[in-house]
Structure 1
Amino acid sequence: HRHAGRRRKMDDESLKRRQTGDEVSLNAMGRLYAKIVGFSVITRYMVYVVPVGILLAVPLIVLPLTGHKNDIYLGSHGKAVGPPLFKLFLWIQISWLSLWGVKVAAWFLPHAFMFFCGIVSAGTRKYATVLSNLTIVISIFFWGLASWLTFKSLFAQAYSDDISWVVNLERVLGACFVSSAVLLGEKAIVQLIGVSYHQRSFDNRIKDSKREIHLLGLLYDASRTLFPMYCHEFAEEDYIIEDSIEMMLRRKAGKSAVPGAGAPMRIIGDVGRFGGKVTSVFGNLASEITGKHVFNPNSAHSIVIEALEKKRSSEALARRLWMSFVIEGRDALFPDDVEEVLGPAYKAEAEEAFEAIDTDANGDISLEEMVRKVVEMGKERKAIAEGMKDIGQALTAFDKVLLFIVLLISVFIFLSFFNSSLLTTIATAGTALLSLSFVFAVTTQEFLGSCIFLFVKHPYDVGDRIEISGTQMLVDRISLLYTVFTRTDKMQVSQVPNIVLNNLWIENITRSKAMSETFAVDVSFDTSFEDIELLRAEMEKFVRSPENSRDFQPDFGIGIGGVNNLDKLTLKISIKHKSNWHNDRVRATRRSKFMCALAVALKKVPILAPGGGGEPLGGPTNPSYSVAVTDQWAIESRDKAAKATDASRMVPSNAHQSPEEILQSEKNAVAALNTNRSLVLETSGMWDADARSIASRDPSDE
């Protein structure tokens, strides 16, 4: 059964033509053609130009020889005589030669620009890069100009005689030339944005990354010289760095309990290393010819690049470098160690390598610091690659949108060339665009806002740690209209439109330099100024100690931030880290270390908490007393207190009364009710008598 898209395995090693049995190989003519085409740009263009040019020159030679140079006319009507056929072939020949002429000129243009303009300003290199990327578009522009001008010059009389095909073709050529100018402008804008963005975002990062990898290659080469590959001191690290079959086979051999099972694995590993040595021989030959190490897989540069691809191999590389350079008995790497190993010839490189790794600038490098720096180099290399890919995709999308606009403009250009009523055409087009603007207003606003946000403001790159509205996130992917983030608190992926981010306050932690941190501590109101100064001296001693100087800067600030309601003092403590907070694990470790030291110092001074400072209960100045009572007295006291509390309620619950007391309370309530009733009846009788006396009174008696 044959699977679609799969090629059957061939019996012979050589590739052969299907159903012929002939091997696919170049003959003498093919090899000559390949040599000529690959020799230089000029020879390659000559191969393309000369054959077609000879074919186009045949009519130019045959027509004069046969006496028909000016007697074969094209498109004659009435008294108007069309142009001769000879001029048409002459124009085609000129157009063909001008095409390749402008391509050669466009190829030389960036070099000439750098030669003449580079003397004036060194910042013109980016414009030379733009010209190099616009070679094809520049060729199309000047070819359209040359074709249009030569056609107008050769067929000027026919155009004045209103020969229809001449007039129409000249209009087409003119419209094509103007459209090519618009296309050139569009491509130039895209290239300028791309080159400027690359210089601003990636150029320095790429240079720094390449330089750091070169220095790591020097250190690794010196390490291999001191301790050969797969020696017993660094066998484990070398297996991880090489990431080859030896590590996998060695693990399997270690799990096997059969005696001698590791021997075949070692044999296979030795075969693999022998194959690597053979590859290295050919790689050395290629390096001698090209001056590069990419063809040599065993060169220090190639091994370092491969090791930086994974975190595990990066850590193994850092351990090998650090342990091979540090002298026995020391727990840190110093500049003289690197200079001693590299030798006097590489003194400048040794100093540069030490400064690149010693990011805290404290004069020594610990193993943890070495591992962290090498891992960061690998992450930075990946972030640059991902960022360039995302920006390339965003520029491609931006280019496609602009190409659609160029297409619309080209349509109007052709209409203006073929339509005499240009104002009517512009008015119609303006009305159509105005009606469409109401439909695509929001989309256009989002597109333009996203372009300005991404290419002009450029607040972050791929891999940056940022903070938006109090939420810290990592930048995963950048697109033209949106950005993908990963929240650091929940590892949740979020996609946010760039037009929304355009109006938010973005704090870029990765781009920040050394960051500081301020926090408040509430202490007792009785704390004196002398105690605060003692705390300052204690914490300055902590941050300036050798084991902590690589984490914190020597500057330490402490002051009273407020007295609150005269019940406590608020101390403002400020510490300065020697790096930013891009690596949250490092920041948390440093902060925990500082907090523990602060707690110890507060107890040592001592500085007490709010409300503290008094003698504890039972102390000499704050004695406590106790009284012993009988159980019966305690029970009666509790019952008495409960009854008093219940009696004070608006509606007593009588939960603590005996049956006799409850009965007596009911009798008292009935008596009180009867007393209140007799008072009511007596009062109402008095009101009735008064009313009757008023009603029986005769007004005439007055």
Structure 2
Amino acid sequence: MPTAPYTSGSDTTAYAMSGEDIELGKKTPNVTITSCDSLQRPVLGRRKTSGMVGETITDHKLGYEGEEDALTKVGNFLWKIHGASIITRYALYVIPVAALLAVPLVLTATVYADSRAGDIRLLGLFVWIEVLWVGLWVCKLVATALPIVFQAACGVISTGIRKYSLVLMALEIPVSFFLWSIMAWATSHMICAFDSCGDKDNWLATLKTAFKALIIVAAIFLAEKTFVQLISVNYHRKQYDEKIRESKKLIRLLDMLYDASRTIFPEYCREFQEEDADIQGNTLTDVRRKMAQAGVQTKVIDNMGRVRDKVTAAFGVMASDITGKQVFNSTAAHSIVVEALETERASKALARRLWLSFVGEGREVLYQSDLVEVLGQQHSDAAEEIFHALDRDGNGDVSLEEMEMLVVNVGHERHNRAASMQDISQAIGVLDSLLSVLVLVAVAFIYATFFSPAFAAKTTQLWTTFTGLAFAIGGTMTDCCLYLFVKHPYDVGDRVDINAVELVVERISLMYSVFRRVDNDKTVQIPHNVANTLWIENVSRSKQMKERLSINVAATTSMEDVLALRNELNKFVAAPENKRDFMPELDIELRNLNDLDKLELRVEIRHKSNFANEQLRNARRNKFMVELLAATRRVPIEPPGGSAPALGDPANPAYSVAVSNGEAELFRSKHTTETEAKRLFPVGSGLSMFMPEAVSSAMQSPAVAMMAGVMGRRNGSVTEGRRSVDDIVPRRM
């Protein structure tokens, strides 16, 4: 690969910038960065390797650690007001309404003291309403405190149980409703607190019955919401927790690399002007390129993106001073990296900037020593962690293509995971809606049972019908829920093989999934209850995969030729240009002899990745197939039938010789005699003389006699049964 010159001279400008003071323009004498004004940009590494660059980054905090939420004085003041006490905040909701409800309470206690509803004074009714209002917020306060109490109590036993406090947080309203229904029924006797009426009035008895039914309804509602939340928490934690952690780790490492890259090469410097425009100017890059193709200068377009980022960052600083948090900080490394991962073009530009920043000038690969040199010896552990994350194939170096593939895959996985989580959340929402409909039907049955004696008499029959209907629908729903939330064989964006058909997952719903066929891009929809019975091979979730190729060779191929072919292929996979694609283990197996006219060999090759990326897999497979053909010709390995010229070719002409009939019969009988002489058990010699006595006696059975008869028929004698070769030859003569 040709290397563009990278020289410094009169047309270069030297920068000496530290990581902390790039924006301010402060200079330090330890870092020298040469910016070329030449139009020819270097292709390989661009970092000058003379001197230790990492000495200037000793105390600089590389990367986004998720710890940027430090509060300012104003933020602390506002936070104290907002979070001083939940009782204070609830008082703003409770006191105004309680004061309004106290007006009829005071009037019925003084001016209208004799006002009654049937035999009950209205004073008791308004006192009970006041208690209901205050009790509602007390129950909500208890429901809010339940997650804190649960986390504090169960955290002592096991930290893994703390995640279920999220369920209690999501169930704040159902729990509040359940507690309030119990409280409302338990305090209903307060209505008669100022009378000795008991439950004589029909409306009071009806009210108590309604609250009894309300308790059951609230319990069913709470159970349904708890079931949905448990599915949501357990599913997301089981399926996505590890993937999210891995993604955050990779993005944090990219943040560290980008921060260090900006330290040695400032943004929009001569070396990385185009890359920075692609990374930070996604919305203006297309316009800039179109104008550049038309021959129009695009400096104004370039500067528009930079001004936009500066203005956004300025507003972000103002918002951060008020809230104490990082708000739309467009100049932070984390914000730039996350934005670049949204598109493939920006991801490749980010990968090029990072790789070219750290690779030494003129080199073709990135080594761990390059990261240590840039970050400094004091950050050698971080450099080792970063390098192991980049070197996925474990060959000790990272190429530009490998770096681009890694960054693009991080962006694709992040996008696919977000789409998959959104689809699953929608599926959980649909499940919640269906269960809510069932809860609504159950509520109707419960209230009808409580208030209608005639309906209560037929409850058993109706519940049987309802249960049968629920069972008929629930069978399919149960299969779909088990398939989606328990098995969950794929996510959005995964490459899967279902019944040997190559598919890509496009969308996941509660009852079905939508796929795209790899061979013809057709859209396929498969119900979950059908897919639950099929074999599903997830290629994206697989580790390094292997491939088996079968070839047929001539039957005269020797073992030395097979070993020579294996050695040639081993040299190919161990070559520096191929060691990133294939594992060093390669084997050849003799699979079949067929009809003794050819040998079937199976070559087993191991890739260093799975087959999720179809384009990459095809490129690697084509490379190996071409080498396999070339290796068979170098050995050489002859095809079935040998490599002799075809009959009639000038190198193998056809001859015709005339012989007499007697000579033909003589040569034919001679060939038959020689063939029979080569047999281990010549025809007509009998098997007993070649076998032990016990074995020969054991074979004297009708089955053996029948076999002997068949052998006799095969040799042309039906009546005589056995004949020697000497008896056959004279007859043919």
| Superposition TM-score, scaled by structure 2 size | 0.73
| Equivalent in 460, 466, 480 of residue 496 of structure 2 | 466
Which residue identity is paired with 1:233?
E
Tell me the secondary structure at the aligned position of residue 584 of structure 2: strand
Distance 1:117 1:458 in 2: 29
In structure 2, the partner of 1:175 is: 213
In structure 2, the partner of 1:381 is: 414
| Equivalent in 243, 248, 258 of residue 205 of structure 1 | 243
In structure 1, the partner of 2:118 is: 75
Tell me the secondary structure at the aligned position of residue 473 of structure 1: strand
Distance 1:451 1:246 in 2: 45
Distance 1:335 1:349, change over 3 A: same
Offset of residue 243 of structure 1: 2.2
Q: Over residues 220-278 of structure 1, what are the superposed CA-to-partner deviations in whole Å (9 max), with x where a residue is unaligned?
A: 11111211111221111111112257645643553455xxx63xx42464355245334
In structure 1, the partner of 2:581 is: 551
Distance 1:423 1:161, change over 3 A: closer
Which residue identity is paired with 1:595?
M
* Greater Rg by CA: 1
Whether the aligned pair in 2 keeps the contact of 1:552 and 1:576 (CA below 8 Å) is: yes
In structure 2, the partner of 1:219 is: 257
In structure 2, the partner of 1:596 is: 626
Distance 1:255 1:557 in 2: 52
1:141 aligns with 2:178: yes
**Where do 1:439-450 residues align within 5 Å?**
443-450=473-480
In structure 1, the partner of 2:459 is: 426
Tell me the secondary structure at the aligned position of residue 556 of structure 2: coil
Distance 1:603 1:255, change over 3 A: closer
In structure 1, the partner of 2:530 is: 500
In structure 1, the partner of 2:641 is: 611
| Equivalent in 154, 158, 167 of residue 130 of structure 1 | 167
1:53 aligns with 2:53: no
Q: Over residues 605-646 of structure 1, what are the superposed CA-to-partner deviations in whole Å (9 max), with x where a residue is unaligned?
A: 2221111155887999x864889xxxxxxxxxxxxxxxxxxx
Offset of residue 479 of structure 1: 0.9
Offset of residue 455 of structure 1: 1.5
Distance 2:489 2:290 in 1: 49
1:476 aligns with 2:506: yes
Offset of residue 544 of structure 1: 2.5
Distance 1:176 1:579, change over 3 A: same
Which residue identity is paired with 1:146?
M
Distance 1:480 1:159 in 2: 55
Offset of residue 172 of structure 1: 0.8
Whether the aligned pair in 2 keeps the contact of 1:110 and 1:128 (CA below 8 Å) is: yes
Distance 1:219 1:72 in 2: 79
In structure 1, the partner of 2:228 is: 190
1:401 aligns with 2:461: no
**Where do 1:576-595 residues align within 5 Å?**
576-595=606-625
**Where do 1:123-522 residues align within 5 Å?**
123-152=160-189, 155=192, 160-243=198-281, 247-248=285-286, 250-251=288-289, 253-255=291-293, 262=297, 265-267=298-300, 269-270=302-303, 272-284=305-317, 286=319, 293-420=326-453, 424-430=457-463, 432-433=465-466, 437=469, 443-522=473-552
| Superposition TM-score, scaled by structure 1 size | 0.76
Distance 1:288 1:511 in 2: 45
Which residue identity is paired with 2:87?
I
Distance 2:602 2:632 in 1: 14
Distance 2:472 2:136 in 1: 43
Distance 1:34 1:65 in 2: 45
The structure with the largest helix share of the pair is: 1
Distance 2:572 2:393 in 1: 16
**Where do 1:86-97 residues align within 5 Å?**
86-97=123-134
Distance 1:454 1:329 in 2: 52
Structure 1 unmatched ranges of 5 or more: 1-32, 77-81, 628-702
Which residue identity is paired with 2:231?
I
Tell me the secondary structure at the aligned position of residue 483 of structure 1: strand
Aligned length: 579
Distance 1:256 1:579 in 2: 42
In structure 2, the partner of 1:17 is: none
Whether the aligned pair in 2 keeps the contact of 1:294 and 1:302 (CA below 8 Å) is: no
Whether the aligned pair in 2 keeps the contact of 1:158 and 1:166 (CA below 8 Å) is: no
Which residue identity is paired with 2:117?
L
Q: Over residues 318-346 of structure 1, what are the superposed CA-to-partner deviations in whole Å (9 max), with x where a residue is unaligned?
A: 11111111112321111121222233454
Tell me the secondary structure at the aligned position of residue 119 of structure 1: coil
Distance 2:336 2:80 in 1: 35
Structure 2 unmatched ranges of 5 or more: 1-77, 657-733
Distance 1:253 1:479 in 2: 44
Distance 1:283 1:313 in 2: 23
Which residue identity is paired with 1:396?
G
Tell me the secondary structure at the aligned position of residue 597 of structure 1: helix
| Equivalent in 550, 556, 559 of residue 526 of structure 1 | 556
Whether the aligned pair in 1 keeps the contact of 2:254 and 2:337 (CA below 8 Å) is: yes
Which residue identity is paired with 2:101?
L
Distance 1:290 1:559 in 2: 68
Whether the aligned pair in 1 keeps the contact of 2:288 and 2:301 (CA below 8 Å) is: no
Distance 2:327 2:418 in 1: 18
Distance 2:83 2:147 in 1: 21
